[in-house]
Every structure is written in C-alpha cells, then in structure tokens.
Structure 1
C-alpha cells in the first residue's frame, strides 16, 4: 500500500511515538541546583515530569513545578534537549528549561507534593553525582554549562553532541 492511499489517521497510527518529559532547572545563585527526592525511586531528580497529550514541553515544565513544588513560574528559555537510551521503555526526549534563580524567600514558599516527593535540597554538581543516576547527573552538568554560557545544548545519553 502506498502512502498516497493512506488516510491521515491511518498514516499517523503508523508513525512511532516518543515519550517526552520536561524539567525546570532552578539554581540558587551560587552554583547549586535544586534537586527533589521522589517517593517512588531511590535516586534524586530535577523537578518535572511527563508531557501530557496536546501539551507543549514548556507548559509541561511549568505545570509540573506547580504540582510538585507549589510554585507558579514563568518557564525560562530551553537549555537542553536530551535523547536518553532506551532501556526497557519507549524512546523519549527530555527538555530542560531554565527555572531561574530562586531567592531564599521564593525557596521558602516551596510546598512539596508529599505523595510524590520526600524532600528537596540545593546541591552542588558533586552532590548531584552522588544522588542521581550518572546519565541524569551528566545532563544537569551540561545544562548548568549551557545556562552559564547562554547556550542551548543537544545531548545524547546526557553527553553533549559536539
């Protein structure tokens, strides 16, 4: 059957689907990044989560921050896009947005979604490496560099594409 004889609906059914997630990376102005400790896994993460059907990655990042941390934010610019390996799951794309610098006053307003998160903490990149999967720590390190240099970084498995 040629593509010309397929309806749009049938054609779209045959296109591979990718999962996507959006994250918002917050810093405290002295080089630390805000990490959260999920209740459902043993490693820490950056605030964020799955992009829902018909939702933009940018909107997903803001929604997830509101749901997880109780903060209403204006999502900053895109800092990184990562294509992590497929390990027993569907392939996906990770979008990391600039959440900005949180002041002490803003951080004191964090209200964790306790069914999803145990705690949060400001962490150096060394602390992130201790708490996160290596892939995620690499992603955060590359994203911090992109933020510092006003760049956008493309990643595969957390490694910058050069």
Structure 2
C-alpha cells in the first residue's frame, strides 16, 4: 500500500488530505494525489468511513478511505513529490504499515482491507468498527 510521510507531522499516513469548501471526499483524494504526488487515479470504491473523536486542539472529523486500485509500473515510476507537504512516500506491506502508522490509522487501514475482501464498506469510530445495531443502540442511549 502507498503511504506518505508528511512534513507537518511526525508519523506516516495514508495519502489524501482535507476537503476544500463544497468538495466531495472522492474528489478530495483525487485532487490531493495529483497535487502531492503527480498521480492521477480513478477513485474506486469507498472502503471505510471513520469518525474520529475530538483530540488535542482538534474537533471531531470524518475520514474516508477509498480504493485507489493497483498502480501500473509506469504510474509507480512517475510518482514524485510535487509540493512541500511530504518528506517522502513509499510502498509498505501490511506488517510495515502496522509499524509506520499510528495505531488509530492502522485500525482504519485494517477496516479498509476488510472491506476490500468482503466488498462491504466499514463504518468505525476511532478505528473501531461498529455494526448497524451498535450504532442504533448508541444513538438511543443518548436520548
């Protein structure tokens, strides 16, 4: 899997970024890959939606993980850092990604990999997958 090492934080991450105003998530990933790595891909299936609870100075957020498919060798050769947001990029095995990524990001990747195997997108909270009944129960607990 393709991972990036952002210059603005200490750990490796999945490629992507924040949406601009009125920009759908699938378009965000397409734009970010082009801006940061010169990579043009057809964004594939939605694999995971992860609600991230407030932490540190940040409010809550939604993280979307899409399939980028398999890159051809010419696409891999053409990859290059095209802006100052990244220090480097690289391809990782699952074992390498488990070490490089923060635990909550690795859980998100595990969910995305499960979705690739099953064909069913995963909804999670802080990387922990929830079933539809768990989501319904949590919502009713708040009433």
Give the alignment partner of residue 54 of structure 2, picking from 86, 108, 111: 86
Q: How many angstroms does 1:142 deviate by?
A: 1.2
TM-score for both structures, normalised by structure 2: 0.86
Q: Which runs of 5+ in 1 are unaligned?
A: 1-32
Report how many residues are paired: 130
Secondary structure, counterpart of 2:28 in structure 1? helix
Compare the two structures and name the one with the higher strand fraction. Answer: 1
For the pair shown, the structure with the greater C-alpha radius of gyration is: 1
Give a deviation string over 1:81-135, Cα, whole Å, max 9, x none.
0001210211110011111111222111112134111111111122112111100
- 4+ aligned runs moved over 4 Å, structure 1: none
Matches within 5 A, 1:1-150: 33-88=1-56, 89-150=58-119
Give me the CA root mean square deviation: 1.1
Q: Does 1:161 align with 2:130?
A: yes
Q: Distance in 2 between matches of 1:104 and 1:148?
A: 24
Compare the two structures and name the one with the higher helix fraction. Answer: 2
Q: Which runs of 5+ in 2 are unaligned?
A: 132-143
Contact residue 47 and residue 121 of structure 2 kept, 8 A: yes
Contact residue 49 and residue 62 of structure 2 kept, 8 A: yes
TM-score for both structures, normalised by structure 1: 0.76
